[in-house]
Amino acid sequence: MAARLIKGAEVAKQIREELKLQVQEMKEKRGLVPGLVTILVGENPASQSYVRAKQKTAHELGFYSVQDDRPADITEEALLDLIRKYNEDPKIHGILVQLPLPKHIDETKILYAIDPDKDVDGFHPVNVGKLMIGTADFLPCTPAGIQELLVRSGAQIEGAEVVVVGRSNIVGKPIANMLIQKGPGANATVTVVHTRTRDVAFHTRRADILIVAAGVPKYIKGDMVKEGAVVIDVGVNEVGRTPEGKRILVGDVDFDEVVEKASAITPVPGGVGPMTITMLMKNTVKAALKAAGDL
């Protein structure tokens, strides 16, 4: 029997509607408008499209939103100055620097420069550390979206064998950390596999919940998945364009094969992607409330 679809786009829409009402109330009751700046360096088309989507959503929710585009040859010092400017700007509650950055810029240095209270991506080492000890203010957006989808889809997380494919700082490491924490929506047993793992399929076949953020199109085949597993596909791989020029996207999971084995699966597009943006908005609202002393 084919798996049930975990429709991230629908869940995301519902959460955004809740956020929109919350933002209206914040405005009316105390004149507080969440402010988000997205900083994009260079002209990477995928990054441009992500940033555009983030800005569009911020507008729809009634945020004060600023898109700050900078040329690919901006110096590290100039970018640091820009971040310091937004750190000081009281109208801005969230600062997002779209990754990846050009090679001449030290990503770690940039992420360190963002005020941890405005780090709505959850990438600053202070926030990474807080996540690790279970006291996070800002959960990184993609992992937060994955956890929310798992919880809302009714997956049994507590005690489950979770296998995460990929060890990036943006997805693999944080989601693994979140799911081993004590508490609701967690308490799982987590294995992380990566490019140096001896036998990836040995691990993935044991997973009750399989989370794939490998960056390789259709990497996970049907025979790598246990019957009845819940499969979360974080991959966004452009494999071509339609005659009209629209991007053709596939995930890291071979959907047609795995849909026959899994009990539930996220589609690409329309799965994890919309949740990521929604969690960014949620973090920005939280940052604004914290700045106003409400949290």
The residues assigned a catalytic role are: 54, 98, 121
Which residue in the set 117, 121, 137, 208 belongs to the binding site for ligand GUN (CB under 6 A)?
121
Binding mask 127-166 vs ligand GUN (x if CB under 6 A, - otherwise)? Answer: --------------xx------------------------
Contact 258, 291 (CB under 8 A): no
- Distances from the Cα of 190 to the Cα of 149, 157, 214, angstroms: 17, 10, 16
DSSP structural state of residue 246: P
Taking CB under 6 A as the binding criterion, the range among 80-88, 94-102, 159-167, 284-292 that sits at the site for ligand GUN is 94-102
Kindly identify the residues of this chain, within the stretch 261-290, that bind ligand GUN according to CB under 6 A: 276
Which residue in the set 170, 229, 259, 265 belongs to the binding site for ligand GUN (CB under 6 A)?
170
Nearest approach in angstroms of CB 108 to ligand GUN is 14
Q: Which is nearer to ligand GUN, 110 or 192 (CB)?
A: 110
Check binding of 207 to ligand GUN (CB under 6 A): no
What is the Cα–Cα distance from 146 to 154, expressed in whole angstroms?
A: 13
Contacts 24+ apart (CB under 8 A), 155-160: 155/209, 155/230, 155/264, 156/208, 157/185, 157/186, 157/187, 157/188, 157/209, 158/186, 158/187, 158/188, 159/187, 159/188, 159/189, 160/188, 160/189, 160/208, 160/209
Which residue in the set 53, 66, 80, 99 belongs to the binding site for ligand GUN (CB under 6 A)?
99
Give the footprint of ligand GUN on this chain (CB under 6 A): 96-99, 121, 141-142, 170, 276
